[in-house]
Structure 1
C-alpha cells in the first residue's frame, strides 16, 4: 500500500470566522457541504456519502479556529484531515486551510475534490 503524503490547500472565503466555524464543526454544518449526512457521538463522527459510512475520530477543535479528524480505517496513525480558519492580520482576508493526506498519485484529485466541496460551502453561506 502506498504511503500517504501530507498536502495543503488554501482557499479564500468571504465569511466571518464565526460563521465558517459553524459549518466546519457541527454535524449539520458539515452535512450541508462536506458529506451527505454527518452524525456525531461525542468524539466519534460518522460521515455518509452515497449511503456509505466512514468513521472518524475527532482529534482536536478550537473555537472559531479549526477542527481535526482521523479516519478510523486509516492504518497510518499520524494521518488526519484538518480544516483551519486563518485570518490575515493586515487585510482581514479569511482563508480556509485544508490539511489532508493521500497517496502521492492521488493528491491532485484529492485537492480538486476539496476545492469542489469548498465551492459547495461558499454557495451554502452565500460567499461566492
Structure 2
C-alpha cells in the first residue's frame, strides 16, 4: 500500500508572514508548537516529543516561504511534509498550507494530528 499525498490549509487571519516564518522556519519556532524540543545539525533536525524522538532531513527551503522535510525512517523517498506560507487572494489572510503523506487508513489520524498542532500554533500566535 502506498502513501497518499494530502494538503490542508489553515487560515491564520492577519498574522504577518514574517512572524509565521519565525515559527515554521526555525528550530526554536518549531519547538514552540510542533515538538517539545528541536535540535539540528545543518539539515538534520531531531524532533522530541515526551520521551521519544524522530529525525527528519530538511530537503528544501525558501526563506520566508516554505520548508520541506523527509522523515529519516520513512522508506518512501517521495514522501515529505511541507509547511508553506501563502496569502488568500480573496481576503488577504495569511494561510499555512501543510502538505503531507499518509497511508489511506491513517489519513484521518494524520489530519487530526495536524489540526491539533495548528491549534497549538494559533494559541502561540494569538489567533
TM-score by length of 1: 0.94
Q: Is the 8 A contact 2:25 2:64 kept in 1?
A: no
Number of the residue aligned with 1:43: 43
Secondary structure of the residue that 2:33 maps to in structure 1? coil
Count of residues in Structure 1 that have an aligned counterpart in Structure 2: 126
Number of the residue aligned with 2:113: 113
Number of the residue aligned with 2:12: 13
Secondary structure of the residue that 1:32 maps to in structure 2? helix
Report the CA distance between 1:90 and its aligned residue. Answer: 4.3
Q: In structure 2, what is the Cα distance between the partners aligned to 1:90 and 1:64? A: 21
Kindly indicate whether residue 101 of structure 2 is the aligned counterpart of residue 98 of structure 1.
no
Number of the residue aligned with 2:28: 28
Q: In structure 2, what is the Cα distance between the partners aligned to 1:37 and 1:51? A: 11
Q: In structure 2, what is the Cα distance between the partners aligned to 1:54 and 1:3? A: 21
Number of the residue aligned with 2:63: 63
Report the CA distance between 1:88 and its aligned residue. Answer: 2.1
What residue ranges of structure 2 are gaps of 5+ in the alignment? none
TM-score by length of 2: 0.95
